[in-house]
Chain A
Amino acid sequence: MLMPQKRLKAVSFGLLSPDVIRKISVGSIITPDTYEEDGTPIDTGPMSLRLGTIDPSQKCKTCGNRVGQCPGHFGHIELAKPVIHVGFVKIIYQLLQATCCKCGRLLLPQRDIDRIRKIMKERPRLWAIIKNRLVAKVLKRATKTMECPHCGEQQVKIRLERPTTFYEKTKSGERKITPDIIRARLEKIPDEDYEVLGFNPKASRPEWMVLTVLPVPPVTVRPSITLESGLRSEDDLTHKIVDIIRINERLKEQIDMGAPMAIIEELWDLLQYHVTTYFDNEVSGIPPARHRSGRVLRTLAQRLKGKEGRFRSSLSGKRVDFSARTVISPDPNLSINEVGVPIEVAKTLTIPEKVTSWNIDELRELVIRGPYEHPGANYIIRPDGRRIDLRYVKDRKAVAEALAPGYIVERHIRDGDVALFNRQPSLHRMSIMAHKVKVLPYKTFRLNLCVCPPYNADFDGDEMNLHIPQSEEARAEALTLMLVEQQILSPRYGGPIIGGTQDYILGAFLLSQKNTLLTEEEVQQLLFLADVTELPGPAIIKPKKLWTGKQVISALLPKGLNYTLKASACRKCSECKKFDCPYDAYIVVANGELVAGVIDKKSIGAGEPESLLHRIIKDFGINKGSWFLDCALKVFLNYAFLHGFTMNLDDVMLPKEVVNEILKRLREAEVKVEELIARYKRGELEQMPGKTLEETLETLIHEVLSNARDNVGKLAAQYLKPTSNALMMARSGSRGSMLNLTQMAANVGQQTVRGERILRGYFERTLPHFKRGDLGAAARGYVYSSFKRGLNPLEFFFHAMGGREGLVDTALRTSQSGYMQRRLINALQDLHVEYDGTVRTADDKIVQLMYGEDGVDPSKSDHGKAVNIEKTIEKVLGVAALK
């Protein structure tokens, strides 16, 4: 049968009127019980077979269908007294305030109402634009009006007691307004006035917000579960419906019996409570309804709300096929564009490949190899759409023979296939990138270390996801837009986000040292890794041919590269000596030759704008850039292996005299602090503007102590052995900072909680080891010891306090920034740049006339700037500029 095709134009939301509720209902539900003794559902109960069936052995009493076919049917409950729908209390409150309590008209002069209605009727487009703001204004004015302009009735103030009780402030005192009175008042509001308040009376009359009849949802949305013990367990909604029916029936009885008002009102309130919690069990102001076991019930609003709700989890949350997840581990021998995939995974993930006369032989081989051997196939789809599961095919040879153009073979993924690789949290677009598959033994995904920064991945147990694009279009798109090398330059700032880390940087640093000399074998070994086959001439010929490390690096740099940069190792001398930098921290590359300077974090590190790596990508293209990351960085890493590297206690050892000097200076600082405290106690301290005397003292002490640590730190840095491995790591930027070093070698320094010296603990003191009111350095968390010497118990305790605060901070920050991220993404996700260069929202409103006001793509910019004049001049002048 041909169905007429209709096009969906709009969806309109509205309220169910009592009439509609009765019309869609298959019957009134009046029994507060679910099943008879014998286990059959009670016909007038909430599990009635008329509401649909969830039992495969039963037929629906309404439509006669069985489980899959029957869509379920609504029932209804006739409420003995009307109750307020919690979802609409706010609107009811506004309506009660804005309309006359006697005649129900909007509390606005007739001519104003007419004026607004005129706009509404005659200029619908303008109305659509200004509606919301106009309505807010009308509401505000009408609420303030205390005398009805239509009938002259004096209005009374109305108070809402959350969640659902309304009070009237009359002269004689406060009086409760019951839902039936509220409903009567809402009924009186004429459609014309109601429209002025922005409502559509056809879709939602205000009195429908006060319920007189309650729909009972089909059993299919609240199925009961049978436990192993044979006991039946009902859905939370069913429990709630039972509660409502029970109270409703009791209320009905009492009314029929002519019970006193107090009893009726009590039951009425209870009915209101149950209906309220049936809709939303997290309403503030009333205790949530609980299960017999004490568990809070999950009612309608809870089913929709939040992360586990229908929207975020069931509707926006997508689940996919053709994906895999496992632990990741590093493999420096893979290209940045590759991902190592375990054989086992490769045998499960497939790509549908159409059989053509060009690939038929190859696909036949795959089919013959079958689902259990690696480059094989799992399914064949015949032209008629039938799927053949190769696991159950006895004679795969015969099936392979039957293959013909038009068939589709779902073959295993193999080397070179495209895959999307992802690590959560997916905070930016580089969190999902396309990689080329490389099938490898063992059970982890493998990736090149240079792509750790964009994923923010490490290997302490991190897991990642892999997705296999199934269509030709998806693969093409992934390959051209999402491939790792397309993502090297971050759109967050103008610079490469993919680059060297840790060992790579250290290796480059060691290799580029002035005194690094390599034998012919070593040079060949290193350059071979990068596929460089031309050996430069040796720097030293006798007694042995030797090459410098810088020569090796030069062999890896593209010809024609001219470049200067201050390295991480730069000491920021007051006057830079440039080429003659005593620390070899001024990098000079002339025509692809590393003339001077050490290569370190600033040159090849991830996320370093203006780096050597950035220059290579910008001047020589992405291909050269990814070659540099794949090959050149591999050389650096292997030099680190060749050189060997460790760290030991000697690295943070200082000569005895220096240790004594440090102790002396710390003692001096302590004396200064004592002096300050003494002056404070004598009242001689001069108060700083905007600070109390105590704050002044704290500031001064803080200054003295932080000066002391910096002082001591500088001293320590000066006297650490130049061969110190730890020092080399800090200098090159590969790991650790100078602060870490001084804390190890000299003194740990002030511990803080909430940005202040430690002051919490016992009454007027931090620990019972101190006198009350002791403001001295030691009593307030100053750690004199170094990590090498070791902390005394008190210092250790203060250090733990500071450390704990750090941990708590990070935990708090991640959750906060996660929420902020979610809201920003939701607000910004539909913005796009139109072909005319304007930035627009999803409904084509203009946000900016040009993206970022200058139209610059930040990933193609130099650190946010469209042009970098200095570098451009340097480039144009070439080698000449360097001289």
Chain B
Amino acid sequence: MLKKKFTILDHELVPKHILLSKEEKRQLLEQLKIRPEQLPWIRASDPVAKLIGAKPGDIVKIIRKSPTAGETVAYRFVVP
């Protein structure tokens, strides 16, 4: 077996993806007053989603650099 030396998570251009816990998910939906499908979607087959073990129904928090705000937070609803 080849040992993986590099994961895409380490790449400069891949922003930080965090899988939300059940409680965090509930809080977020409560705060935004939305159903999960109203968030933008990410495929469960997305390379990053696979790596962090996101399953359909989960919500992923993405923290990335922004030219306007410095750092910005986005959420993705995981779909099959």
A residues whose Cβ falls under 8 Å from a Cβ of B? 129-130, 133, 836, 838, 844-850, 852-854, 856, 864
What CA separation (Å) do A129 and B79 show in the bound complex?
A: 10
Q: Is the CB of A853 within 8 A of B69?
A: yes
Interface centre among B68, B69, B79 (most CB of A within 10 A): B68
Given contacts A849-B73, A853-B68, A856-B68, contact A129 B34 (CB under 8 A): no
Q: Does B39 contact A (CB under 8 A)?
A: yes
- Please give the distance in Å from B76's CB to the nearest CB on chain A: 11
What CA separation (Å) do A848 and B72 show in the bound complex?
A: 10
Q: What chain B residues lie within 8 Å of A846 (beta carbons)?
A: 32, 34, 38-40, 75
What CA separation (Å) do A854 and B37 show in the bound complex?
A: 24
B residues 1-60 with Cβ under 8 Å of A?
32-34, 37-40
Q: Is the CB of A853 within 8 A of B39?
A: no
Q: Is the CB of A844 within 8 A of B34?
A: yes
Q: Is the CB of A845 within 8 A of B66?
A: no
B40 interface neighbour in A133, A847, A852, Cβ under 8 Å: A847
Known: A846-B38, A849-B72, A853-B66. 12 other contacts (CB 8 A): A130-B80, A133-B79, A836-B33, A838-B32, A844-B34, A845-B39, A848-B74, A849-B32, A849-B75, A852-B68, A854-B70, A856-B68
- Please give the distance in Å from A834's CB to the nearest CB on chain B: 10
Q: Is the CB of B38 within 8 A of A844?
A: yes
What CA separation (Å) do A849 and B28 show in the bound complex?
A: 12
Q: What chain B residues lie within 8 Å of A864 (beta carbons)?
A: 68
Interface centre among B33, B38, B39, B73 (most CB of A within 10 A): B38
Q: What chain B residues lie within 8 Å of A130 (beta carbons)?
A: 79-80
What CA separation (Å) do A679 and B32 show in the bound complex?
A: 71
- Please give the distance in Å from A846's CB to the nearest CB on chain B: 6
What CA separation (Å) do A849 and B33 show in the bound complex?
A: 12
Give the residue name and chain of the B residue nearest to A864 (CB).
B68
Q: What chain A residues lie within 8 Å of B79 (beta carbons)?
A: 129-130, 133
Q: What chain A residues lie within 8 Å of B69 (beta carbons)?
A: 850, 852-854
Q: What chain B residues lie within 8 Å of A848 (beta carbons)?
A: 74
Q: Is the CB of A845 within 8 A of B73?
A: no
Q: Is the CB of A854 within 8 A of B74?
A: no
A854 interface neighbour in B32, B33, B68, Cβ under 8 Å: B68
What CA separation (Å) do A129 and B35 show in the bound complex?
A: 12
What CA separation (Å) do A116 and B70 show in the bound complex?
A: 44
Interface centre among A129, A130, A853 (most CB of B within 10 A): A853
What CA separation (Å) do A699 and B79 show in the bound complex?
A: 52
Q: What chain B residues lie within 8 Å of A853 (beta carbons)?
A: 66, 68-69, 72
- Please give the distance in Å from A731's CB to the nearest CB on chain B: 34
- Please give the distance in Å from B29's CB to the nearest CB on chain A: 11
Q: Is the CB of A129 within 8 A of B32?
A: no
What CA separation (Å) do A836 and B68 show in the bound complex?
A: 19
What CA separation (Å) do A133 and B72 show in the bound complex?
A: 30
B residues whose Cβ falls under 8 Å from a Cβ of A? 32-34, 37-40, 66, 68-70, 72-75, 79-80
- Please give the distance in Å from A122's CB to the nearest CB on chain B: 16
Q: What chain B residues lie within 8 Å of A856 (beta carbons)?
A: 68
Give the residue name and chain of the B residue nearest to A858 (CB).
B68
Q: What chain B residues lie within 8 Å of A838 (beta carbons)?
A: 32
Give the residue name and chain of the A residue nearest to B66 (CB).
A853
- Please give the distance in Å from A202's CB to the nearest CB on chain B: 26
What CA separation (Å) do A844 and B40 show in the bound complex?
A: 11
What CA separation (Å) do A848 and B34 show in the bound complex?
A: 13
- Please give the distance in Å from A127's CB to the nearest CB on chain B: 12
Q: Is the CB of A845 within 8 A of B68?
A: no
- Please give the distance in Å from A863's CB to the nearest CB on chain B: 12
Would you give 15 A-B contacts (Cβ < 8 Å), ordered by A? Answer: A130-B79, A836-B32, A844-B38, A845-B37, A846-B34, A846-B40, A848-B74, A849-B74, A849-B75, A850-B69, A852-B69, A853-B68, A853-B69, A854-B68, A864-B68
- Please give the distance in Å from A665's CB to the nearest CB on chain B: 44
What CA separation (Å) do A854 and B71 show in the bound complex?
A: 9
Give the residue name and chain of the B residue nearest to A838 (CB).
B32
Closest 9 CB pairs of A and B: A854-B69, A853-B69, A853-B72, A854-B68, A853-B66, A845-B38, A853-B68, A129-B37, A852-B68
What CA separation (Å) do A536 and B42 show in the bound complex?
A: 68
- Please give the distance in Å from B16's CB to the nearest CB on chain A: 15
Give the residue name and chain of the A residue nearest to B36 (CB).
A129
What CA separation (Å) do A210 and B63 show in the bound complex?
A: 53
What CA separation (Å) do A278 and B77 show in the bound complex?
A: 46
What CA separation (Å) do A814 and B45 show in the bound complex?
A: 41
What CA separation (Å) do A850 and B75 show in the bound complex?
A: 12
Give the residue name and chain of the A residue nearest to B72 (CB).
A853
What CA separation (Å) do A852 and B80 show in the bound complex?
A: 29
Q: What chain B residues lie within 8 Å of A849 (beta carbons)?
A: 32, 72-75
Give the residue name and chain of the B residue nearest to A841 (CB).
B38
- Please give the distance in Å from A287's CB to the nearest CB on chain B: 45
What CA separation (Å) do A849 and B34 show in the bound complex?
A: 12
What CA separation (Å) do A852 and B32 show in the bound complex?
A: 18
Q: What chain A residues lie within 8 Å of B39 (beta carbons)?
A: 845-846
Q: What chain A residues lie within 8 Å of B37 (beta carbons)?
A: 129, 845
- Please give the distance in Å from B79's CB to the nearest CB on chain A: 7
Give the residue name and chain of the B residue nearest to A845 (CB).
B38
Q: What chain B residues lie within 8 Å of A845 (beta carbons)?
A: 37-40
What CA separation (Å) do A836 and B30 show in the bound complex?
A: 13
What CA separation (Å) do A856 and B68 show in the bound complex?
A: 9
What CA separation (Å) do A850 and B70 show in the bound complex?
A: 13
- Please give the distance in Å from A830's CB to the nearest CB on chain B: 15
What CA separation (Å) do A836 and B72 show in the bound complex?
A: 17
Q: What chain A residues lie within 8 Å of B34 (beta carbons)?
A: 844, 846
What CA separation (Å) do A864 and B80 show in the bound complex?
A: 38
What CA separation (Å) do A775 and B70 show in the bound complex?
A: 52
Q: What chain A residues lie within 8 Å of B74 (beta carbons)?
A: 848-849
What CA separation (Å) do A847 and B80 show in the bound complex?
A: 20
Interface centre among B66, B69, B79 (most CB of A within 10 A): B69
- Please give the distance in Å from A673's CB to the nearest CB on chain B: 44
Q: What chain A residues lie within 8 Å of B80 (beta carbons)?
A: 130
What CA separation (Å) do A734 and B53 show in the bound complex?
A: 61
- Please give the distance in Å from B77's CB to the nearest CB on chain A: 10
Q: What chain B residues lie within 8 Å of A852 (beta carbons)?
A: 68-69
What CA separation (Å) do A848 and B66 show in the bound complex?
A: 12
Q: What chain A residues lie within 8 Å of B40 (beta carbons)?
A: 845-847
Q: What chain A residues lie within 8 Å of B33 (beta carbons)?
A: 836
Interface centre among B72, B73, B79 (most CB of A within 10 A): B72
Q: What chain A residues lie within 8 Å of B70 (beta carbons)?
A: 854
Q: What chain B residues lie within 8 Å of A133 (beta carbons)?
A: 79
What CA separation (Å) do A856 and B40 show in the bound complex?
A: 22
What CA separation (Å) do A864 and B66 show in the bound complex?
A: 13
- Please give the distance in Å from B31's CB to the nearest CB on chain A: 9
Given contacts A849-B73, A849-B74, contact A854 B38 (CB under 8 A): no
Interface centre among A838, A845, A848, A864 (most CB of B within 10 A): A845
Q: What chain B residues lie within 8 Å of A844 (beta carbons)?
A: 34, 38
Give the residue name and chain of the A residue nearest to B67 (CB).
A853
What CA separation (Å) do A397 and B54 show in the bound complex?
A: 82
Q: What chain B residues lie within 8 Å of A854 (beta carbons)?
A: 66, 68-70, 72
